[in-house]
Amino acid sequence: MRVLTPTAAACGERDAAPGASADVGARPYPEGMSDVLTGTDGVTRCAWAGADAEYQRYHDEEWGTELRGDRPLFEKMSLEGFQAGLAWITILRKRPRFREVFHGFEPSVVAQFGSDDVERLLQDAGIIRHRGKIEAVIANARLVAAMTAGELDALLWSFAPASHTPPETFAEVPAVTPASEAMSKELRRRGFRFVGPTTMYALMQSSGMVDDHVAGCWRAAT
């Protein structure tokens, strides 16, 4: 999820091909777009949540909520990579199928995937059929499977800033930060793929390492 909000479509990854693209995070919001939007339910949210009920639930219950654990964070990392070049709502709607075909994103299981599995996944219209992204998830799973329990969680959360000032407006939301650049650099050093600094800042936002709900949103600074 990017820019960094779930509707942003990054243009791609610098380190390999998220979607034959570079991790530069173009801002998706037109000039003058409102920062918050009050829905028909009377709740004021970040405007990117729009009027879509599924998106609103994601905003209310997941985005910016602390996420811990190796498996959940591996899933988040994987889905953020798949999102590159696309709107997050596309990934959100396909998430149940992603979880099914990737066996709940259990690293030890995905690590065993081979070329036949890649070809099988490329034929599945229920997911994003991008060879580079699929192969990156498998390669990353092998790295996570080789870690000790809790190591991925500890690694990713070690880059969470000690303090973070929530934005007043979308204009104040960065595409990358020194922390996301440091996280990306370390993950790449370890061999992880599709983990550019914009993608990693999106992960930091969505997993609650930073709070980028804008002022006026009911979840801001909560």
Q: Is 58 part of the annotated catalytic residue set? A: yes
Sign, Cα dihedral of 11, 210, 149, 197: positive
Q: Which residue among the candidates 13, 75, 80, 135 is catalytic per the annotation? A: 80
For residue range 116-148, what is the model confidence (pLDDT) as tens digits?
A: 999 999 999 999 999 999 999 999 999 999 999
Alpha-helical segments (H) within 44-163:
53-61, 70-83, 88-101, 107-110, 115-122, 131-145, 151-157
Ordered domains of the chain (ranges, CATH): 36-206 (1.10.340.30)
Q: Which residue among the candidates 58, 75, 135, 201 is catalytic per the annotation? A: 58
For residue range 94-111, what is the model confidence (pLDDT) as tens digits?
A: 999 999 999 999 999 999
pTM equals 0.87
Distance CA 118, CA 140 (A): 14
Residue 74: burial class (beta carbons within 10 Å; 0-12, 13-18, 19+): buried
**Which helix (H) or strand (E) segment is 198 a member of?**
helix 197-206
Q: Which residue among the candidates 48, 55, 88, 201 is catalytic per the annotation? A: 88
